[in-house]
Amino acid sequence: MSDHYFSRNPNSETRPQQFEFFLRGKSFKFETDAGVFSKSEVDFGSRLLIETFEWPEIEGPVLDAGCGYGPIGISIAFEQPERMIHMIDINDRALALARENAKRNGVDNVRIYESDRLQSVSEKGFAAVLTNPPIRAGKQVVFDILQTGFAKLLKGGELWVVIQKKQGAPSAIKEIERLAGSCEVAAKAKGYFILRAKK
C-alpha cells in the first residue's frame, strides 16, 4: 500500500514533471511526481468537476478534499481570490506539490494541510465541499468523506462529488440522498457523474 496515492509517504522514486492545463478559461502550470494521483495530466473526472462546479450563493470558505497536487482547489481559488480555499490530502508529496503549484500560479488564498480524510479540518462552516474521492481506498473511506464533508457545510452550502458509475456512483447517490434528502446529477460524461447536493 505504500505506493498508493492515498499513502502518507509514497516511497516511489521521485520523478517530477511539469505540464500546462486549461481550466475554467485559464492556463495553469502544474508540477507532478510519482506517487501522486494522475501524475501525467489533470484526470478527466477532476476536469469535469472543475468545469461543472458553480459557486454557491452563500459566502464562506470552500474545501477541496483529496486535493492531490492541486488542480481543483487552485483553479477555483484563482477565480475568487477573496474566498479562502482549504485543500487537504493525506499524501505529503502531493501536499508539497500543491503548495508549489499554488505559488507557481499566483494563488495565495489557499490553506493547504495534511488530513486523513477530514480528521484535521477544524473549520465547520464551508460554503462548498468538492471531492474527487480516493476510490481505491475503499467505500468506507469514500463514504466517510461524503458524510463528514456534508456535516461541515453551512446551511445552503453544497457538496460536489465526481465518481464513475462503475466505481460506485449509484451507491454514492443513495448515500448523498440519505444525507441531504436529494442528489442532483449535475453532469455526466464518459461514465463519470458529477453529483451535487445542497444542505
Binning pLDDT at 50, 70 and 90, where does residue 183 land? Answer: very high
Q: For 135-168, what is each residue's pLDDT tens digit?
A: 888 899 999 999 999 999 999 999 999 999 989 8
pLDDT of residue 10: 55
Kindly give, in sequence order, each residue whose CB lies less than 8 Å from that of residue 29, ignoring residues fewer than 6 positions away. Answer: 18, 19, 20, 101, 104, 105
Q: Parallel, antiparallel, or unpaired: how do β-strands 184-189 and 192-198 relate? A: antiparallel
User: Quick check: 77 and 110 in contact, CB under 8 A?
Assistant: yes
Domains in the chain, CATH or no CATH each: 17-198 (3.40.50.150)
